Structure 1
Amino acid sequence: MRIGELAAAAGTTARALRHYEQAGLLSSTRAANGYRHYADSAVVRVRNIRYFLAAGLTLEDVRVFLPCLDGDVAAARPSGRGLEVARERLAVLDARLSAQTEIRDRLAGALRQAEAAGVQGAGS
């Protein structure tokens, strides 16, 4: 199938497919006219890539799951390395959330102080 057909079948864009291919997660052959051609099984692979990305993993993280991208990854037993990657990604996300929460709290505190001091917005 051509790139547009795969994108439609997998619920993504041709640009994303080219990105996955560049990252080494997806492969295609080239037709005589230069168009990419994908096997029908690529639909499952792309959906699995998107499953991992939606779970917060990066394309580099997804690379660990290459051996199982063509199967039912949601039902598969996770590998030790897969669990390790997921834990590492979760730690990164937790750190980002913590940093964002601190920034939010500082802004909320500054806003409370400004309101308590009677400072009004520029539009008043």
Structure 2
Amino acid sequence: MAVKSLGPYTFSAKDTVDKFPAPLLYIGWDDHKLFCSPVCVPMPPSTTFRELVQGTLPGIYSAHPDFAKIDWGSAEWFLSGQAFQPDMDKTMAENGIGHKSAIRFRTPGLTGLQGSSF
């Protein structure tokens, strides 16, 4: 993350990738307020996007009743605020996802508990 400083910025960042077991990834599910903010998980760069979707996301979001209804083929993805089409069989690194990247996904037709997001 870039920093704009009013004066000299002469100390090193304390949250560099070498301080964690794997690069950190922020993940948010749009329109689902049961989760108040994105979650942050260590995500090895060798993890495929498919492994994220099938292995990691259920452990984070499956408590939500909408999770089982997700059509992953129509999910809309965003990487650091920009529309993004991940390649499910490529790794995080190959998809351009690195330390402290933020991904969000939107699931058309699913808008929170009983449509509560709208």
| TM-score strictly above 0.5 | no
The structure with more radius of gyration: 1
Which structure has more relative contact order (CA 8 Å, sep 6+)? It is: 2
Larger strand percent:
2
Q: TM-score, normalised by structure 1?
A: 0.28
Larger helix percent:
1
